[in-house]
Amino acid sequence: MVTTVQNPLREGMTVQRTPEPSIMVIMGATGDLTHRKLMPSLYNLAVEHLLPNGFSVVGFSRQDKDHEDWRSDMRQAVDKYSRYAPVQPSVWDSFAQGLFFKQADFADENCYLQLKEMLDKLDKERGTNGNRIFYLATPPTVFPLIAEMLGKAGLVTDQAFGHGWTRLVIEKPFGRDLESAQKLNRELLSVFHEDQIYRIDHYLGKETVQNILVFRFANGLFEPIWNRNYIDNVQITAAEDIGIDRRGGYYETAGALRDMVQSHMLQLLTLTAMEAPVALDPNAVRDEKVKALRAVRRLRGQHVLQDVVRGQYGPGWVGGQHVEGYRAEEGVAPDSATETYVALKLEIDNWRWAGTPFYLRTGKRMPKRLTEIAITFKQAPLALFKDLDPDSMTPNVLAMRIQPNEGISLKIVAKVPGQGYDIQPVYMDFLYGSSFARQVPEAYERLLLDVMIGDSTLFTRRDEVEQAWEIVTPILDEWSHTPAPDFPNYAAGTWGPDCGQELIERDGRTWRVV
């Protein structure tokens, strides 16, 4: 079967990408991730005829289920979360024929030997040729154990020997700091080769994120001015209006810096700041991302206290409803010092960006859900209209919206119709929903298809993970022996604590009003 898809780096070009028949084994298959994201995304690919013939999914989890029980559970998940709901019976019937379940204990080697027998049988029955994807939808604490057991059971093969290929997909967090990330990488690489490991960050599957490189490098209009000479500052915002959604146990051990900045936000920074890759292959793209991370100036000691602020939300109002503070959430300590908000200023010490600050902010219980990259350009050198309303002479801002309403907008100033020279800001907008006559696919759809094909461009490489932790770990170290602010220090439904505003205002700038 031939699959024609759009390459995220080649605007206006199509490439032929043909997934080979394979089996995806979902470790922890009864969890929330499988129900909300993985199975609906796989079903959506089936609806669009993007799955290869014989493609199969094996759920591997502790719960006692048979094949039909799991198929019924997955049908309910797809009905609830698929963008193609309600389920199309003919598509589901064909898709469900490839769904199977194996009750297992992650620490029991016999379970993996039984899994191997099951996969070998499915290879013969469904023509999957020994091609296996192991998706670890489990707590990160068991990643090394599962990798070790897969190796012991002979479930990791080398394609060079003609026995099919093996790929491992792991979800963030990839460690808790630099040392633990390096340890995890060593443990995984003792069983798998680096090119077999797919570290997934769902932000990289979003259309606007994929489009950043196309926008930058396929348009001669912007690339010449994408540098310190024309850009005043870059602001990256990842705001959520929800709280921790019954994830208190996880969030208490993570916090906003680990949960959002180390992964999602630094990924957005690299795509914004990187140089053009020499080719459109996975390693060339990731080489440039790593170079951008290496150029980020490390913050230590007093610079952490000066350029990084943290906050925690208290009670407040969001969307017209009163909500409790973080410390009242389920699973959260009543005196918790975990941050739910982080803002920081980063400098990139290279030729393109020297002197141009990157401001990052993320938080829970903000006024709205919004993720965007805002590029603020420098003002024109001669203010011909300085005698007009000074508020009308706002700088040009290019905003790339990741969610919701994915798209790109450019703020310029224009003359108001009439006899005088009144001017005001206007916007040039591009929205995916209105510009293309098709639904925007879910991020996981793109990423799962890439795993099947073996395209690791949108996945994080080992050195990329470790470079990101090199930026974040010194901040964590400084916080570990510095008392947290007097939490809570911002009300739910606001844009964070006052110190977050002061961080950018002391440079004579303000956060973009969104």
Catalytic sites, residue numbers:
264
Element (H, E) at 14: strand 14-17
Judge whether 462 and 288 are in contact, CB under 8 Å. no
Judge whether 490 and 313 are in contact, CB under 8 Å. yes
Joined tokens for residue 117: 């027998």
Strand partners, 399: 374, 409
Instruction: Count Cβ atoms below 10 Å from residue 161 Cβ, excluding itself.
Output: 7
Q: Which pairs count as long-range contacts for 64-70, CB under 8 Å and 24+ apart, including other chains? A: 64/103, 65/30, 65/101, 65/103, 66/101, 67/99, 67/100, 67/101, 69/101, 70/29, 70/99, 70/100, 70/101
Whether omega for the bond prior to residue 144 falls within 30 degrees of 0, making it cis, is no
Judge whether 1 and 53 are in contact, CB under 8 Å. yes
Element (H, E) at 57: strand 56-61
Eight-state DSSP code of residue 348: B
Which amino acid is located at 102 in the chain? Answer: K
Strand partners, 342: 310, 362
Please enumerate in sequence order all residues whose Cβ is within 8 A of that of 501, keeping only pairs 6 or more positions apart, or say none. 495, 510, 511
Please enumerate in sequence order all residues whose Cβ is within 8 A of that of 189, keeping only pairs 6 or more positions apart, or say none. 197, 462
Total residue count of the chain as it appears in this document: 514
Question: Residue by residue, what is the 3-state secondary structure of 210-244?
Answer: HHHHHHHHCCCCCHHHCCCCCEEEEEEEEECCCCC
